[in-house]
Chain A
Amino acid sequence: MAQWQEVQALPNARLKQIDQLYSMAALPMVVRQCLAAWIENQNWRQAAEPCSSHALMLFHSLLALLGEHLGSPGLGDEDFMLKHNLRKARRDLQEKFQKCPEDFANLVANLLQEEQRILRLEQARGQGDAAPAPSTPPQSDRQQQIQRRLAEFNTALQEAERAFRHLEDLQDSFDFCYKVYFQPGQARTSDPQYAQQIQSLQAKLQILDRQRQEVLAQMQQLLGRSETLLDFLQKELEAWKQRQKRSCLGAPTDTCLRPLETWFTELGQGLFQLLQLLRALGDLRQKVTYERDPLKEKTPHLEQRLRELLTYLLQSAFVVEQQPCMPNPCKRPLVLRTASKFSARARLLVRLHDRNHHMEAKIHIDRDPPKIKGFRRFNILTSSSKTLLAGDSPQDGLVCDFQYLTLKEQKDSRSGKSSKGASEGPLVVTEELHLITFTLAYAYCGLELELETSTLPFIIISNNNQLSSAWASILWFNMFSCEPKEQSFFSAPPPAPWPQLAEVLSWQFESVAERGLDQNHLLMLAKKLFGSKPSPKSTVSWHKFSKDSASGFSFWAWLDGTLGLLQEHLKQLWKDGLILGFVSRKQTEKLLKGKRTGTFLLRFSETVMGGITCSWVEHPESGPPAFPAVAPYTAAELASLALPDIIRDYQVLVEENIPENPLQFLYPDTPRDEAFGPYYSQRQDGNLTEQKYLKQRLIRVSSRQPNESWQTEEELEAATENLETLQLQPGELGTQQPGGLGMVQVTSGNQGMLQVVATSPGMLQPEGLGMLQTGDLRTLQTGSQDLEPPQPPQVGLGVSKVLQPGTGEQLVLHVVPNSQEMMQVGPGGLGTPKVLTSGLGMLQPALGTMEPPVVSQEQGTLQLESLPQGQEVLPSLEPHLGILEALEVVELMPNMDREQEELCPRLASNAALLDARDPFLPQPEDVALSPVSSLFTTDFPSLHIDDSDFQ
């Protein structure tokens, strides 16, 4: 904006200052206003120099312009006053400054300078005011400085251009006089007139020389200031690079390049303009030169210095905007897999280019490979060169965007096949750092450069299972390497100071689930690593962090397992702070000790990779409080049933007691349903008229002996190892046998327990009664949807590998059709209950014929089969196929009514239908024999109705 316009826009207080300024000045404001643009465009300071003819010229031009203005038709009659004032001003000025135009030049120069000063004051105040305003993003001191300096630089550049134009004028005038008057060789030296002319010529040359010196001095000054500016930009860019690095590691930072691009471009533009100016100065020298011509001495030096500055600016302006990244959801760049596509993008922050000149960008991988034995070499399969494209709009900037790149290992990259194995290089694949270098052949305004920039080091893996440890390497490198191209970093990785490491670990959680680690989490992790309270000086070695697997897995593997679990299943709970997470067992007990019975918390298992467990407190009537914990749920379990639903329906079965949910209050004291209510999955509304199935729901139950003391998690873990794991017979679970029953071999019979609970719609759950469906139970079909049950009407229950016998916690299926029947399959018979329930009308007789569950101890398998009674109303049961965790539950025809509720308790006790001789089950010899608990065979736990069904 022109200066006078800015002045007019000043607030009143400042305008008063301007008013005062002009009331004392010999230049009336009306003239300033009238010729604002012209006045601002002249070099008054220059003209104010003594013996400068420029002042006179300017003065007369001003008078002439005023005269023109007075005569212009634009001024109508209404401007009579204005005309009068202008005329008077013109007369006054002429009178006052006719003899001393330099004074006039000086006056105007001072006025303009004073105006600028007032404007700056206002600006500074404005910035001071604007800073605390919350709406505008706070600019750092440096950013403000950059903007101020850029503005100053541009002003100075304009001034230099004005000085240059003035120099041109002077030179033209001298040149003309020289050609006209200077006639050497003629004997006119005695001619006094000639001598006078020569003298004036000499004076003109003096002035010309001084102006040349002056222009050069201005340029020196400009270069000096732009060095400072470049320094500032450099620091800002460095800060951006740090931000980018942190952002790659998952830190929440702003990596927008736009302001930097604007600044770099503006400075670049200014410097290129200066280069043009210097060249124009060279042209002037071509036309007129003389002994000790300053242009001759100084312009080459200036140009060289300027080119160096430009080169440096452009070099640093070429940056990798997007580090190499596979299109993966886990927000982990810098880990690339061979044969997988990835992309990387570089940007030239100086948005200046010649549209007619195509600039080629290239990428190279490991251009200067480190001298590491066995270092793998790769080829970029896709095209490695590209023409730099300026987007259609100038907003897009100059980008070289390489997409769909793939890497392939060079066959001969290892020196012979014999080098494999022990003689291979010291670095494992996930510690081998690679670099991609971008080069750009830049040309603009006669400056030709090869620009170059490199990505951050990345890791190339060939298999997804290397991703986790590759990511650990990326974290380590970017945290602790000061040299961005240090490819041999992992030959001696430095230890990590804990505070820094803690921050980065926190970012991992923040980027996965939008919530970082708090002080308590970090304290627990630190204790895990250091065994004590960490001091800021505690350090972790790379080996300890990523390799030491004394406990079965390294610290990082454990943490990353937790991250994986979070990302897949617990994002929301973690984000909302419902998971206490990193709490040691000891700390858990400390926290829960003072809480009422049923207070629980969620923590990550320290012994299972990627496991989460509930710990709760029980205060028995006598004795110390107990802190039971359920065996950790891993991703596999959570895939079938979401954690909030597990918590909602979780039950502990104690012999001779009604099963109950021990999880009542989320630590510190939020009622369970209040805390987790929003996360429960909706029980779907069945279409009541078409329901043919029982509603079903999957819940998890633990059982224990009434006199059994609670085992600690660790003990349970130990127990697990001694037990044979569940084995599934995939063939039996396959889809080719509709109704074929999943079979589970349970080795620890005393804990296995399977229950199927079907709640009847309308009655027990007036609001909906949708069948509980977890995400993975796709093959489960709600009654309302599946109207055509396949034959034979059987329920195939595939019980999955997630069952963990011996850990004290089992998958339990309850079938409670209409609350009239409840079938419980005792432990030991886990996998394959087949339930056929009869319709209401038939219920009574059916019950009568029920047989007690039969367990074949010898086989360790339990087979359930429906009884044939009541077949006419048998609801069809969907055979369960394939999905292991799924279960199918019979649903009664929707003709139940209220009275049935009353029947429940009575009927429930003998609803289970079990048959050991299921033809679909594998023969005994296929089955691992195992002891079956006496619990199941001798005392069948009393049946009960889930409380929550009567909400």
Chain B
Amino acid sequence: TGAVGLYNIGLSCCLNSVLQVFLMNIYFTRILRRITVPPRAAQKRNVLYQMLLLLEKMQCGKQKAVSPMDLASCLSAYRVKLFATHDAAQLFLTLWNLMKMQMEKPELVKELTDLYTICIQEHLACQKCSLETKRKSSMLILPLSMLDSNSHMLKTLEDCLQHFFRPVELTDHNMCLCEQCGKRTPFLQSMKLVHLPHSLTIHLKRFCFEKSAYIHKLNNNLPFPQDLDFNVILTENQCQADNNEKAGWQYELFAVVAHSGSTSFGHYCAYIRSLTELKWYCFNDSHVCQVSWDDVKTTYGHSSLHLGETAYLLIYMKKH
């Protein structure tokens, strides 16, 4: 099979899961395979090259699992510590940025950026004088809150997405300085979706600070669909895109990075749907097994199981 495990080399389940999400993505590996091989001396510190080596090792098909030791030690040179627990979303960003930074061919940089970047237009409108400022911004991960503005649990992923794009009034402490009015005024902040990438990464903010600095994990049930159509979720004025762009906003679930345990300790595993075989696999470090959609659904979250697996990162892939 195309699914090969990664040995845990000491609390590396998070790294392993994120790596699997990258390496099982054929659109990413197509880019990865075209990198220029760095000079020998630089090879050990080149994240992309180490990724490629790991991919080769995994795909030679001899073993059920390989060790990501070399890549891990390479990463440790960039302050991605070994033997330490990480946050999967954070690690995903770090890894991506490292790769982009070390990419030498500009066309590959563009491709990598295109593959992952979400474009959003932020609107800030002064409520007093209607002065509107727009700003385009791009992000790699859509960070979705599990709670609405009243701290009620949102029911589904679609709700979370809608909540993300809902305009927010900035009042009181959050008032901004209006150039036209010359003072701090209430603003209406809204976000419009401009562009969605081929590979869309969604971060469910399950770890949250609610009271004081105490972090806790939200285990609530939050179903996510296998198929996601942003045209259905967003209203006309939450988008800033032409029909051509919108036509491509049809997604299907590609991977789920799930976390089990609590904030103080835990374990990551990845559920990934092989893009070649169209089958779901569950990657628990070196242990890989084929699963079904029912298993993936178990990561919706469960109010009675606080230590069970819950989806943390969702990666959707554009349909053809």
Contacts and interface: CB of A to CB of B under 8 A. Distances in A.
A214 B286 contact: yes
A220 B308 contact: no
B148 interface: no
A49 B304 CA distance: 39
Interface stretch (A227-235, A649-657, A660-668): A227-235
Contacts of B309: 224, 227
Given A49-B63, A145-B294, A301-B265, A308 B307 contact: yes
B10 A232 contact: no
Interface string B54-71: 000000001111000000
A305 interface: yes
A73 B8 CA distance: 49
B308 A45 contact: no
A298 interface: yes
Nearest to A149: B294
Contacts of A873: none
Interface string B265-305: 11101000000000000101111010100110110001011
Interface residues of B, number: 35
B306 interface: yes
B305 to A, nearest CB: 6
A216 interface: yes
A216 B8 contact: yes
Contacts of A213: 7-9, 285-286
A220 B269 contact: yes
Given A49-B63, A145-B294, A292-B83, A312 B282 contact: no
B298 A210 contact: no
A548 to B, nearest CB: 38
Contact of B10 (A45, A48, A292): A292
A304 B64 contact: no
B295 A294 contact: no
A775 interface: no
Contact of B287 (A218, A231, A305, A308): A218
A217 B8 contact: yes
Nearest to A223: B260
Contacts of A934: none
B295 A228 contact: yes
B285 A305 contact: no
B287 A217 contact: yes
B283 to A, nearest CB: 9
B141 to A, nearest CB: 24
Interface string A201-225: 0000000001001101110110111
Contact of B307 (A216, A297, A305): A305
Contacts, number: 95
A292 B83 CA distance: 8
Contact of A297 (B11, B286, B294, B297): B11
A226 to B, nearest CB: 10
Contacts of A217: 5, 8, 284-287
B197 interface: no
Given A213-B286, A308-B308, A220 B267 contact: yes
Interface of A is mostly: helix
Contact of B298 (A50, A227, A298): A227
Interface in B1-38: 5, 7-11
Contacts of A218: 284, 287
A723 interface: no
Residue with the highest number of chain B CB atoms closer than 10 Å, among A221, A300, A304: A221
A219 B199 CA distance: 31
Interface string A288-303: 0000101001101100
A309 interface: yes
Residue with the highest number of chain B CB atoms closer than 10 Å, among A217, A231, A300: A217
Contacts of A300: 265
B266 A301 contact: yes
B282 A224 contact: yes
B223 interface: no
B298 A228 contact: yes
A216 B13 CA distance: 11
Interface string B127-165: 000000000000000000000000000000000000000
B261 interface: yes
Interface of A: 45, 48-50, 145, 156, 210, 213-214, 216-218, 220-221, 223-225, 227-228, 231-232, 292, 294, 297-298, 300-301, 304-305, 308-309, 312, 315
6 contacts: A50-B62, A145-B294, A224-B269, A227-B302, A292-B11, A309-B305
Given A231-B297, A301-B266, 6 more contacts: A224-B282, A227-B298, A294-B8, A298-B267, A301-B265, A301-B307
- What are the 6 closest A-B residue pairs judged by CB atoms, nearest first? A217-B287, A217-B285, A305-B307, A213-B8, A220-B284, A221-B284
